[in-house]
Structure 1
Amino acid sequence: MSEQQHPSPTTSGTARAAGWADGPLLGFDTETTGVDPRSDRLVTAALVARGPRRADDGRDQEVLTWLADPGVEIPAVAAAVHGISTERARAEGRPVEEVLEEVASRLAAAMAAGTPVVAFNGSYDLTLMESELARHGLPTLRERLGRELGPVLDPLVLDRKVDRYRKGKRRLGDMCAVYGVVVDEALHTAEVDVAATLDVLEAILRAHPEVARLDADELVAFQAAAHRDWAVSFNDFLRRKGRPADVETAWPLPEGL
């Protein structure tokens, strides 16, 4: 695990909101061996902890990163995305069980304290974590909490709801451009993705302050309903195109996990 501490950039003119929007946030991202979160293996993880908003509108920030040896070959197509080869993971990575335990402990502690966990397309990362924890005989996040996951914030889900008719793709890089978020490095390094995700969230809250007025429980229900509406509509589109309509409608975890 590596660690960095530094202030996050300040943003002038931020719309103030009570409660969680000005409180601490924990950004989360993973890089893995593929695109199926139920069967993929963890390669890297990053957590970016941002403290409560200061009087100057900035936040203190702590960055934690992990490199794991997933115990399996990393396909070349996955390595091309995140830059971690099987050889590097085996040489430099820690046992995946240790990494999973450390990451899960921090995620569960944040949720238990009411700190929102922020992840772009977070259903992927959270499904991956639950699957990997169970695979390695470790307590899942839900077992650690004794309840369902939350609070969780997903800028992708929020953006689809608050700006549903905007045309174009909604990848993280696309949304950085839409919301004026400047990224200094190439996306697909987990810690860079997390910082960008947190910045996009803050930009969404400035553009749509009504979201920040929801409390933590309302936020989860709001996003679950928003994702369900989007998934049903997208599945209808896929059927009309003669393609498999298999987009999961539940959020943040799939049915049956």
Structure 2
Amino acid sequence: MRAARTSQLDWSYGRMTGFDLETTSTDPHTARIVTGSVVEYGGGRPTLARTWVSDLGGAEIPPDSTRIHGFTTEACRIAGRLASVVVEEITADLAAAVEEGRPLVAMNAVYDLTVLDREARRYGVTPLFDRVSPNVLDPYVLDRHVRKHRRGGRTLADLCRHYVVPLDGAHNSEVDATAACALVRKMGRRYRSLARLSLDQLHREQVAWAREQNTELREYFARTPGKQEWARGVSLEWPLLPFREGVSRR
């Protein structure tokens, strides 16, 4: 009887893999990984985390980025591992999670997954999406769908306050990855319309929801004085920005 009941539980009761990066900039095409974490969460088992610090591969961390995550260029060069090795190991861990049937969870996933993809190409590592086809859960996209007109921001900290999820030290990759998992689990249990979908279905829905959400954002910027240029920077793709030859790899 216990086994039969477990088989009927939805994805919010299963094991999931959280993923987060702290980086050198906000441009996913050129940002370098500073730290990265892969977190195994849920499923009635203890949370397990693995965290990497990169030596930046010769890049530098601007002061504005250091103020966010606390890492300096010097600290990374001293404590960090070879950037190419970090990228390979993170990518391999995520690919293994997908092959085991776990969804990948990331807040504003399109940023982190694009950074990882560009870093992989930079170092000659086989990119994640060339290895596997992950089902991604993004609390940012999900919240914008289920609570479209909710007042307030939608940063990770904002969502954690709204859904009453602990966030002890934001902009720490392990903390952020764990919080993202807790958020999507809580959303799945609060909004049964999400939980009733299979992971495959929910991934496909998020592709459509993100496109609709970003189309509306692009149109809002285009018609708002002083923000018209911002419209050009709004991509409709999710969860990965397409790679285009000729984009700077520096």
Instruction: Give the TM-score taking structure 2 as reference length.
Output: 0.89
Whether 2:218 is the aligned partner of 1:227: answer no
Tell me the equivalent position of 1:34.
Answer: 25
Give the Cα separation in 2 of the matches to 1:172 and 1:97.
28
Tell me the equivalent position of 2:67.
Answer: 80
Moved beyond 4 Å, runs of 4+: none
Give the Cα separation in 2 of the matches to 1:18 and 1:250.
31
**CA deviation string 1:142-197 (max 9, x = no partner):** 2222xxx32110010000000001011100101111111122x2211111111111
CA RMSD in angstroms, aligned pairs only: 1.5
Q: 2:143 aligns with which of 159, 164, 172?
A: 159
Tell me the equivalent position of 1:6.
Answer: none
Output the amino acid matched with 1:235: R
**CA deviation string 1:85-130 (max 9, x = no partner):** 0010001000011111110001111112221010000110000011
Give the Cα separation in 2 of the matches to 1:129 and 1:137.
12
Whether 2:40 is the aligned partner of 1:49: answer yes
Q: 1:51 Cα shift? A: 4.6
Q: 1:116 aligns with which of 81, 103, 115?
A: 103
Q: Any conservation in 2 of the 1:48–1:194 contact (CA below 8 Å)? A: yes
SS at structure 1 position matched to 2:19: strand
Whether 2:235 is the aligned partner of 1:248: answer yes
Q: 2:175 aligns with which of 192, 195, 203?
A: 192
Tell me the equivalent position of 1:211.
Answer: 194
Q: 1:19 Cα shift? A: 4.1
Q: Any conservation in 2 of the 1:26–1:48 contact (CA below 8 Å)? A: yes
More displaced 10-residue stretch of structure 1: 84-93 or 200-209: 200-209
Give the Cα separation in 2 of the matches to 1:120 and 1:47.
13
Q: Any conservation in 2 of the 1:17–1:213 contact (CA below 8 Å)? A: no
Give the Cα separation in 1 of the matches to 2:117 and 2:83.
14
Distance 1:17 1:236, change over 3 A: farther
Give the Cα separation in 2 of the matches to 1:249 and 1:195.
27
Q: Any conservation in 2 of the 1:153–1:220 contact (CA below 8 Å)? A: yes
Give the Cα separation in 2 of the matches to 1:101 and 1:163.
37
**CA deviation string 1:194-228 (max 9, x = no partner):** 11111111221122022011112111111011101
Q: Any conservation in 2 of the 1:20–1:115 contact (CA below 8 Å)? A: no
Number of residue pairs the alignment of both structures matches: 233
Question: Which sections of structure 1, spanning at least 5 residues, go unmatched?
Answer: 1-15, 54-58
Q: Any conservation in 1 of the 2:13–2:185 contact (CA below 8 Å)? A: no
Structure (1/2) with the larger helix percentage: 2
Q: Any conservation in 1 of the 2:41–2:178 contact (CA below 8 Å)? A: no
Percent identical? 38
